[in-house]
Amino acid sequence: MSAKNVVEIEDLAFSYGNREIFKSVNLTIPKGKVVGIMGASGCGKTTLMQLIGAQLRPSKGSVKVLGQDIHGLDRDALYKLRRRMGMQFQQGGLFTDLSVFENIAFQMREKTQLPEDMINDLVLMKLNAVGLRGAAQLMPSECSGGMSRRVGLARAIALDPDLIMYDEPFAGLDPISCNVVGKLIRRLNDALGVTSIVVSYDAQESLKAIDYVYFLADGAVVAQGTTEEVKNSADPFVKQFIGGLPDGPVPFHYPQNTYAADLELSA
């Protein structure tokens, strides 16, 4: 594995039972970059992150994270490697009975031997980085959608990971919150010197923050490129996805019989 790459995926295949998700996926995530994984709903974006985190095992191929074959590690080695990874969940994933402060302090208390006064300082520092130091004592139910995402982001960077993964960070947010979250992802990545993976179907917001993007469809990477290359691409899939066009390689309708055949069957 190249020292310049944080993640390397080769010939990856995966299925849920008889439902094939990936046929052969190949991609690399370079160190220090913000890389987007895009595709239509159901193409396997979140599944890919679960494979990178070893929540799922591939049926074929390899996933190397920070120089290690993550699916070949024993339990202790896997948990140690996961401590170098941060995750922002799609719906925030906050503990509803813990305050904002306690949500971020939780893993520091569980995974480190740091004294409480240092944990206090670190939590406030992480919250300050996402603009929510004043919200430390709020409960998750008192936070807006955008605030919850930012709390999730602060929690993702709590243990200073090398790799941060974002699962649909813009979903359900208003334009202002989308802009704030996108800028935070970019700023924190550069300031902390980490590597980020942004999984999203929101092309317009994602392209403001990322350096490089992979498009998934039909179980494989169907297009890729830098932000500028993607914006100017003549590839039919990329043009359809970026432009939100109804007609193109990605079908609107689920596979089906002809309308006339279904009407005859129901007669």
Residues 171 and 245 in one domain: yes
pLDDT at position 2 over 70: no
Domain count, the chain: 2
Residues 116 and 245 in one domain: no
Residues 20 and 73 in one domain: yes
Domain boundary pick from 133, 160, 187: 160
Taking the C-alpha atoms of residue 27 and residue 232, their distance in angstroms, rounded to an integer, is 21
Q: What residue type is assigned to position 72 of the chain?
A: G
pLDDT at position 266 over 80: no
- Percent of the chain clearing pLDDT 70 (strictly above): 93
Residues 145 and 19 in one domain: no
Q: Both tokens of residue 254?
A: 């689920």
The answer to whether residues 70 and 78 touch, using CB atoms and an 8 Å cutoff, is: yes
Taking the C-alpha atoms of residue 42 and residue 248, their distance in angstroms, rounded to an integer, is 17
Domain boundary pick from 145, 160, 175: 160
Task: Please indicate, yes or no, if residue 89 is contained in any of the structural domains.
Answer: no
The pLDDT, as a whole number, for residue 250 is: 63
Taking the C-alpha atoms of residue 51 and residue 49, their distance in angstroms, rounded to an integer, is 5
Task: Please indicate, yes or no, if residue 36 is contained in any of the structural domains.
Answer: yes
The pLDDT, as a whole number, for residue 172 is: 77
Whole-Å CA distances, 117 to 108, 114, 136, 156: 12, 8, 15, 20
Question: What's the average model confidence in pLDDT over 79-99?
Answer: 88
Question: What's the average model confidence in pLDDT over 152-173?
Answer: 88
Task: Please indicate, yes or no, if residue 176 is contained in any of the structural domains.
Answer: yes
pTM of this prediction? 0.84
Residues 66 and 180 in one domain: yes
Residue 46 CB partners (closer than 8 Å, separation 6+): 90, 167, 168, 199
Domain boundary pick from 111, 133, 160: 160
Task: Please indicate, yes or no, if residue 114 is contained in any of the structural domains.
Answer: yes
Task: Please indicate, yes or no, if residue 181 is contained in any of the structural domains.
Answer: yes
Instruction: Provide the CATH number for the domain around residue 245.
Output: 3.40.50.300
Question: What's the average model confidence in pLDDT over 123-150?
Answer: 91
Residues 108 and 234 in one domain: no
Task: Please indicate, yes or no, if residue 14 is contained in any of the structural domains.
Answer: yes
Task: Please indicate, yes or no, if residue 252 is contained in any of the structural domains.
Answer: yes
Residues 251 and 136 in one domain: no
Residues 258 and 140 in one domain: no
Residues 260 and 171 in one domain: yes
Position with higher pLDDT, 162 vs 172? 162
**pLDDT band per the 50, 70, 90 thresholds, residue 93:** confident
Task: Please indicate, yes or no, if residue 90 is contained in any of the structural domains.
Answer: no
Residues 122 and 170 in one domain: no
User: What is the pairing mode between strands 85-88 and 163-167?
Assistant: parallel
pLDDT at position 254 over 80: no
Residues 206 and 78 in one domain: yes
pLDDT at position 259 over 80: no
Residues 177 and 201 in one domain: yes
pLDDT at position 118 over 90: yes
Domain containing 252 equals 5-84+161-266
The pLDDT, as a whole number, for residue 74 is: 94
The pLDDT, as a whole number, for residue 26 is: 95
